[in-house]
Amino acid sequence: MSGSAFLRLGATLVSGVIFGIGLSLSGMLDPARVRGFLDVTRDWNPSLAFVLGGAVVVSALGVLVTRRMQRPLLDDAFHLPQNRVIDRRLIVGSAIFGVGWGLVGLCPGPAVASLSLGLPATMLFVVAMLAGMALHDRLPRIGARRQGEGALALRADGGRLSER
């Protein structure tokens, strides 16, 4: 393994450890806390808003720093998403994600971090989540088209709704 690849893996490991500690420290491994945030009709728990706010601040600072850089420290180029279209597939996927998050109180990051607690329900959730991801990738798409083609789309850069 080259020195640069070793440094990238090290940075990934350190980032994952920091993320896991942050999830644990903030209580976000507890699905009841997440459901308490999502349930605004009863005893609302705003703690997740502070976690999300912290994430937005750190991400915004990261974006500002990377805009001044020619290239990342441990790679040859930045790998940023090219697709900026908000289409039906994204909206449906987001809705399904939201339903799952609201029902269970876990999303992928906290679910994987919660495996450290050894709870059977979390283990089952992660296995089911991985199975759903694998199933999605292997199912033939009915009337398969290129992503975004033929869908009503709204560009994320402020463009208007249009037929693609």
Place of tokens 């296995």: 127
Query: Against a cut of 0.75, is the pTM above it?
Result: no
Q: What is the DSSP letter of 143?
A: T
Distance CA 30, CA 105 (A): 8
Mean pLDDT of the chain: 84
pLDDT at 159: 55
| pLDDT tens track for 52-100 | 999 999 999 999 999 999 999 888 888 888 888 899 888 998 999 999 8
Q: How crowded is the C-beta side of 120, counted as CA atoms within 13 Å?
A: 0
Among candidates 20, 15, 17, which has minimal Cα distance to 74? Answer: 15
